Amino acid sequence: MFRSGPIWIVLSILCAFFLALTDLFTKKYSGRFSAGEIAFGRIVYSVPVLWLYAVIDGIPAIDARIGWVYLLALPLETVALLLYIKALSLSPLSLTTPFLSFTPVFLVLTSPVMLGEYPSANGIMGIILIVSGAYLINVSSVRQGILDPFRRIFREKGPLLMLIVAFIYSLTSNFGKMGVLYSSPSFFAASYFSLLALVFSFPVVKRSGMKAIFAKELVLIGGLSSIMISFHMAAIRLVQVSYMISIKRSSLLFGIVFGVFFLKETGLRAKLAAGLVMVIGMLIISFAG
């Protein structure tokens, strides 16, 4: 599986870069469009790319139990995506996106219940690093009390909403693993995103009409998202999904840089250092956890 050498790493980093770009323009245009419209734009343009990979891989035998996965996961995914976009709109990009790294922390709680999977000692070490990174990203407020960096997370709406998103993703990640087992990675991704696009299409078209779907801003967001998905699917064909995702989460570092340089946010060095600690934690969980 690793004969592809560093190619999967390059593809994963490109995936992270375009994910961060998608988040950047999501935040930029969040004042012009509703969360539902932006969510639809992010999803709908990715569907053709996903089906292309599904056709290339071949349609698998499908276990009927996949219906329960769709039924339980799609409502959670819908809420998570809306909260994700809301979080980006409310707080600085460089402060908000790093908190998505808490998904593996919450997986420690959800995976044993849903899948019977438990973390190793290395996994616990990775979790400690992620939590430490969350502390460091707000370390400037430590003069107000040693626990104030953690309290600040709950005072700032964006990071708090992203923590909720991370928890929901810890649930949908487990459902996603079930969906893959009941079909295949490419088919489940394509069918899941197609259903998610339908969920968002009805309220968006009813509220804004078809014209809104083809607004140039949403086309840009959707186009960047589809490029991100292309690199995502290309990378996971070469390496284990968990390894690829750990590199993809380096998008938080790109998000920090984009927030500072394009949105005039502050604290580049401190946030980058904190983000790097979080990424190392995720790498430990994925490669050794």
Exposure class string for 211-236: b at 16+ Cβ within 10 A, else e: ebbebebbebbbbbbbbbbbbbbbbb
Each residue's pLDDT tens digit, 239-279: 777 777 778 888 989 999 999 999 998 888 888 888 898 88
Reading phi first (left if > 0) and then psi (alpha if -120 to 50, else beta), residue 145 is in left
- Predicted model pTM: 0.87
116 has pLDDT over 70: yes
**Counts for the chain of helices (H) and strands (E), in that order:** 15, 0
Each residue's pLDDT tens digit, 121-147: 777 888 888 888 877 776 664 455 555
d(CA 87, CA 160): 8
What contacts 44, CB < 8 A, 6 or more positions away? Answer: 197, 200, 201, 213, 222
3-state class of 51 per DSSP? Answer: helix
d(CA 132, CA 7): 31
- Residues 125 and 284 sit within 8 Å (Cβ to Cβ): yes
Question: Identity (one letter) of the amino acid at 4?
Answer: S
| pLDDT in the model for residue 149 | 57
What contacts 78, CB < 8 A, 6 or more positions away? Answer: 196, 199, 200
**If you average pLDDT over residues 145-156, what whole number do you get?**
65
Cα separation values, 170 from 66, 84, 109, 120, Å:
18, 14, 9, 17
What percent of the chain lies above the pLDDT cut of 70?
88
68 has pLDDT over 80: yes
**Among the residues of 29-117, which ranges form H helices?**
35-44, 47-57, 66-90, 93-96, 103-114
